[in-house]
């Protein structure tokens, strides 16, 4: 992207005076290449909602790093240029914002919080969220994280001992939900051992509805006559989740009143949020706390469990990498079945590298929808305010890759040394710029805990003949199945 020139040109429309020498006139979005589409409907029929990201990536391979497509007369811009994406992500929240369409749909589902906030509201809430997710908060939570990881180990151990199959994908989801609710609200809802948890069902249901709505060409559920039973059920699920969180907040307040020291040293996210909200002049009310608490659950559950699922899928197909992870787990965990020393998380270098490699090939957020808050120019193309720009994060690293064997799963490439290349520079698994994922530290801690436990105690094998894990777009990218079997590791 011609950053300087474009930045200056975009300022022209804002009326500033420091103009560079005359530049070639800007092109319009209509001049960009892209799929032809049909009259009125545009490319609506090509957009397969469960393969949305792959459709956009395939067009990116066909039409290049900047293209357009239309649906129902609305035109979208798509970029997979790494430098352009880095600039767009950096220029938030003032020049770029999240897609207002995405934000509205999330807010309709009750998740009005940091993810959907913009401008000053976002700045204030970001500070709040950063306080709720500091390494210190996670350190304080670590004994519970160890206990929840031990519960997962025991469940798998008992199932294997009884000769029963393990549904790894289901258990990972339950584990991350228990961890997120545990850290967020200080409650152990134990969805791992209890199949039928209303909160879990509501969260899952709502998440799937939002994913389907995001790729729906028309917001039919806002028209009372067209609203379907599933949409009414989504409203009911959102209300129940809200109610549950109001209860968690009441419990938290009671605990904090009984033990005021918790205000200075919160042991979970909700305590941190409530402490911040109660400070003089904080400007926050309970609605902000509730919205952000729900946001954390939505943002933290599927992202983390799907990342682990993709990693396990790779480990099943790459026994040498799995063996390297097991050797490391033996050394770091020593006699323990589950890591019980917070500081040792930093010693799990191979597990860390394998996670990054899985996120490089199977990022759970391979695209991001942004919206121009004011007019900008991208590579000589005028992009008016309000335009939606899809950033293809995975394709950008694929296009820009100078890596050896880029399609291969090679955790070693992250362990330094090899030519001094830094694969991280080329990827955005946690986003980038001022809105990068604030849960990154928690996510990596959780993944390393569960994956070191897995490597220490179990062997993962592919199930011969089972259909492979396919990428399914459900807001995050979920594997359609996890065709692996666990067996206990002997010696
Ligand atoms: C492997 C796990 C995770 C992945 C891959 C991931 C990825 C992402 C990505 C790509 C974004 C958008 C960043 C951007 O706009 O630049 C994001 C934002 C966010 N994530 Fe995560 N995330 C993960 C786990 C978590 C966890 C565990 C939490 C909290 C409990 C969390 C909370 C959030 C929030 C609140 C935002 C919105 C930040 C903002 O708009 O300022 N995430 N995440």
Rounded distance from Cα 211 to ligand 1 centre (Å): 16
CATH node for 23-488: 1.10.630.10
Rounded distance from Cα 319 to ligand 1 centre (Å): 30
Alpha-carbon distance of 484 to 489, in angstroms, equals 15
- Can you give the three-state secondary structure of 97-158, one letter per residue? EECHHHHHHHHHCCCCCCCCCCHHHHHHHHHHHHHHCCHHHHHHHHHHHHHHHHHHHHHHHH
Rounded distance from Cα 35 to ligand 1 centre (Å): 31
Instruction: Tell me the best of 141, 299, 310, 432 to mutate to test the pocket of ligand 1, counting ligand atoms within 8 Å of each CB and taking the most.
Output: 299
Listed in sequence order, the residues at least 6 apart from 359 whose beta carbon sits closer than 8 Å to its beta carbon are 307, 310, 427, 429
Rounded distance from Cα 306 to ligand 1 centre (Å): 13
Contact, 352 vs 339, CB < 8 A?
Answer: no
Closest residue to atom 8 of ligand 1, CA basis:
430
For the chain, domain boundaries = 23-488
Q: Between the CA of residue 432 and those of 78, 339, 368, 424, 438, what are the distances in Å?
A: 18, 30, 11, 11, 11
pLDDT of residue 8: 36
Alpha-carbon distance of 488 to 159, in angstroms, equals 10
> Apex CA 195: angle with CA 193 and CA 197, to 5°?
105
Sheet holding 27-28, edge to edge: 27-28, 381-383, 376-378
Rounded distance from Cα 362 to ligand 1 centre (Å): 16
pLDDT of residue 286: 83
Closest residue to atom 19 of ligand 1, CA basis:
437
Closest residue to atom 24 of ligand 1, CA basis:
300
Closest residue to atom 20 of ligand 1, CA basis:
437
**The whole model's pTM is what?**
0.91
Roughly how many angstroms between the first and final C-alpha of the chain, as a whole number?
55
Alpha-carbon distance of 337 to 217, in angstroms, equals 49
Burial of residue 88 (CB within 10 Å: 0-12, 13-18, 19+) is buried
Rounded distance from Cα 299 to ligand 1 centre (Å): 6
- The ligand 1 atom at the shortest distance from the C-alpha of residue 98 is 15
Pick from 285, 181, 284: which is nearest to 241 by CA? 181
Closest residue to atom 31 of ligand 1, CA basis:
439
Rounded distance from Cα 259 to ligand 1 centre (Å): 31
Pocket of ligand 1 (CB under 6 A): 89, 114-115, 126, 129, 180, 295-296, 299-300, 303-304, 307, 364-365, 368, 429-433, 435-439, 442-443
- The ligand 1 atom at the shortest distance from the C-alpha of residue 269 is 30
pLDDT tens for the chain, residues 1 to 491? 443 344 434 433 334 445 566 777 899 999 999 999 898 888 988 887 789 999 999 999 999 999 999 998 899 999 999 999 999 999 999 999 999 998 999 998 888 999 999 999 999 889 888 878 888 888 988 999 999 999 999 999 999 999 999 999 999 999 999 999 998 888 898 999 998 888 888 988 888 888 888 878 788 999 999 999 999 999 999 999 999 989 998 999 999 999 999 888 877 888 888 888 888 777 788 888 888 888 888 899 999 999 999 999 999 999 999 999 999 999 999 999 999 999 999 999 999 999 999 999 999 999 999 999 999 999 999 999 999 999 999 999 888 777 888 899 999 988 975 444 566 566 789 999 999 999 999 999 999 999 999 999 999 999 999 999 999 988 899 999 999 999 999 85
Instruction: Tell me the best of 437, 438, 447, 477 to mutate to test the pocket of ligand 1, counting ligand atoms within 8 Å of each CB and taking the most.
Output: 437
Pick from 429, 420, 307, 308: which is nearest to 366 by CA? 429
Rounded distance from Cα 115 to ligand 1 centre (Å): 8
- The ligand 1 atom at the shortest distance from the C-alpha of residue 364 is 5
- The ligand 1 atom at the shortest distance from the C-alpha of residue 116 is 40
Rounded distance from Cα 331 to ligand 1 centre (Å): 31
Closest residue to atom 27 of ligand 1, CA basis:
300
Rounded distance from Cα 321 to ligand 1 centre (Å): 27
Rounded distance from Cα 32 to ligand 1 centre (Å): 31
């Amino acid at each position: 992207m011609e950053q300087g020139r474009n930045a200056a040109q975009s300022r022209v429309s804002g009326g500033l005076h420091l103009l560079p020498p005359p530049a070639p006139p800007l092109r319009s979005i209509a001049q960009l290449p892209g799929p032809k589409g049909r009259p009125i409907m545009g490319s609506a029929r090509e957009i397969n909602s469960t393969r949305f990201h792959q459709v956009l990536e395939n067009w990116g391979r066909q039409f290049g790093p900047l293209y357009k497509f239309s649906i129902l007369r609305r035109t979208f811009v798509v970029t997979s240029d790494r430098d352009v994406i880095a600039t767009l992500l950096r220029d938030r929240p003032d020049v770029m914002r999240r897609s207002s369409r995405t934000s509205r749909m999330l807010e309709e589902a009750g998740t009005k919080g940091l993810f959907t906030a913009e401008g000053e509201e976002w700045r204030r809430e970001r500070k709040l969220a950063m306080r709720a997710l500091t390494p210190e908060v996670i350190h304080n939570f670590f004994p519970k994280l160890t206990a929840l990881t031990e519960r997962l180990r025991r469940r798998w151990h008992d199932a294997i001992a009884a000769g029963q199959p393990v549904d790894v994908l289901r258990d990972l989801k339950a584990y991350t939900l228990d961890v997120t609710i545990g850290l967020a609200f200080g409650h152990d809802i134990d969805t791992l051992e209890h199949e039928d948890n209303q909160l879990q069902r509501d969260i899952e249901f709502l998440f799937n509805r939002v994913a389907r709505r995001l790729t729906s060409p028309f917001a039919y559920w806002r028209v009372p006559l067209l609203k379907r039973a599933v949409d009414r059920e989504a409203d009911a699920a959102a209300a129940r989740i809200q109610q549950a969180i109001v209860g968690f907040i009441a419990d938290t307040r009671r605990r904090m009143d009984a033990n005021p020291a918790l205000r200075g040293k919160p042991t979970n996210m909700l305590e941190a949020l409530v402490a911040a909200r109660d400070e003089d002049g904080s400007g926050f009310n309970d609605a902000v706390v509730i919205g952000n608490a729900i946001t954390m659950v939505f943002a933290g559950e599927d992202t983390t469990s799907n990342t682990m699922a993709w990693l396990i899928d790779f480990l099943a197909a790459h026994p040498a990498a799995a063996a390297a992870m097991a050797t490391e787990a033996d050394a770091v965990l020593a006699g323990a079945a589950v890591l019980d020393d917070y500081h040792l998380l930093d010693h799990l270098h191979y597990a860390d590298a394998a996670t990054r490699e899985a996120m490089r090939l199977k990022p759970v957020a391979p695209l991001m929808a942004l919206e121009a808050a004011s007019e900008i120019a991208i590579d000589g193309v005028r992009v008016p305010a309000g335009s939606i720009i899809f950033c293809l994060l995975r394709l950008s690293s694929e296009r820009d890759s100078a890596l050896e064997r880029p399609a291969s799963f090679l955790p070693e490439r992250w362990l330094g040394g090899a030519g001094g290349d830094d694969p991280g520079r080329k990827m955005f698994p946690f986003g980038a710029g001022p809105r990068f994922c604030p849960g990154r530290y928690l996510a990596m801690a959780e993944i390393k805990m569960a994956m070191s436990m897995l490597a220490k105690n179990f062997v993962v094998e592919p199930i011969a003949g089972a259909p492979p894990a396919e990428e399914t777009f459900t807001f995050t990218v979920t594997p359609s199945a996890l065709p692996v079997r666990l067996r206990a590791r002997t010696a």
